[in-house]
Amino acid sequence: MTFPTQQASIAWTFHPHNATLDLCFFGNFISPSGWVGWGINPTSAEMTGTRALIAFPDPNSGQLVLLPYILDPTVKLQKSPLLSRPLDIHLISSSATLYGGKMATIHNGATVQIYATLKLEPNKTKIHHVWNRGLYVQGYSPTIHPTTSNDLSSIVTFDVLSGSAATQHNNIDILKLVHGIINALSWGILLPMGAVTARYLRHIQALGPTWFYVHSGIQLSGFTLGTVGFAIGIRLGKMSPGVTYGLHRKLGFAAFCLGALQTLALLFRPKTTHKFRKYWKSYHHFVGYACVVLGVVNVFQGFEVMGEGRSYAKLGYCLCLSTLIGVCIALEVNSWVIFCRKSKEEKMRREGLISGSDKGSGIHSGIHGLN
């Protein structure tokens, strides 16, 4: 079976008569002084609690060694170095070799084969496999592995008797796709569009209060859709224990809270004649623009988390966002032109050069006097 990340794979033979599992894991080094590890988690599909076999070059001799480790919570939090200790599972035998024979050297891209024979518990053939690789080993203590999306999702559960993989990871991939599409549309497109309508349509007198209903409709639609995407993200976090995207998660919570504050602000919107109206407007503008900026930034962060940093999906989103920014620039220039023109007309009107009825006509009031 080929694993979904790191070009790793595994081959195995299960002996049902005595519940013995013979297996060989194939992994690749990413550094001459790095490590490659494989293990099983007896309780759940996560890194914490994994019983691992880790191969790396011996600091003294340079030869390949294979040592057992238990990944407890202190290792995940990096409170203490990872130290080798006997495993509390029934490991009958284990060994490791480099692909290419005993004379092969450890280098970037070198393939290592980890062999193990395990005695499984009766009628428990579904196993959580965990694997990873790192850049350095300090003494006999492997250091933390990279934290890209691929490195954080190197977990697969399958039945060694039937060979069928668990469907949870397929469900996770589908939820990730739905989560990304919904959030890109809501936080990354609809909410910025709502801000644009409020800034530029409100000055068009012919629309009257229509601009407000358009603005509110777009923002409420975007926030409702964004809430669905946010809920899916929370669900994904619960389905992926041990996998944490700190920055993406924090930005998501911040954007959602600001969006909720904006929605609640509609319930406490003072009348135009109220003395607190100007303070409410300042609050509404600040929170709204902050929510839009955080939402767009987190959409790009989401592309990186999903490993789509150079994908056509990100390119398509960039084109949509660029179009929206281009429209904003054009409307902003047009607004300034109109503002400057009105300011000039107002100044001429105050100086008596034009009358109130000659809005923009350029006819001097002195001519009317002659008539």
Question: Distance (Å, rounded) from C-alpha 124 to C-alpha 89?
Answer: 13
Backbone phi and psi for residue 210, each to the nearest 5 degrees, phi listed first: -60, -35
Question: Distance (Å, rounded) from C-alpha 345 to C-alpha 335?
Answer: 15
Integer distance in angstroms from the first to the last C-alpha of the chain?
97
Question: Distance (Å, rounded) from C-alpha 168 to C-alpha 175?
Answer: 10
Residue 128 is assigned to a ligand binding site: no
Residue 181: both structure tokens together: 């599409």
Residue 129 is assigned to a ligand binding site: no
| Strand boundaries in 4-63, DSSP class E | 9-15, 20-28, 35-41, 51-57
The one-character DSSP state at 164 is: P
Residue 248 is assigned to a ligand binding site: yes
Residue 236: both structure tokens together: 């994904």
Is residue 106 within 8 A of residue 29, CB to CB? The reply is yes
Residue 179 is assigned to a ligand binding site: yes
- Reference 294, options 331, 262, 329; nearest CA is 262
Task: Provide the annotated binding site for heme b.
Answer: 179, 215, 248, 284
Task: Provide the annotated binding site.
Answer: 179, 215, 248, 284
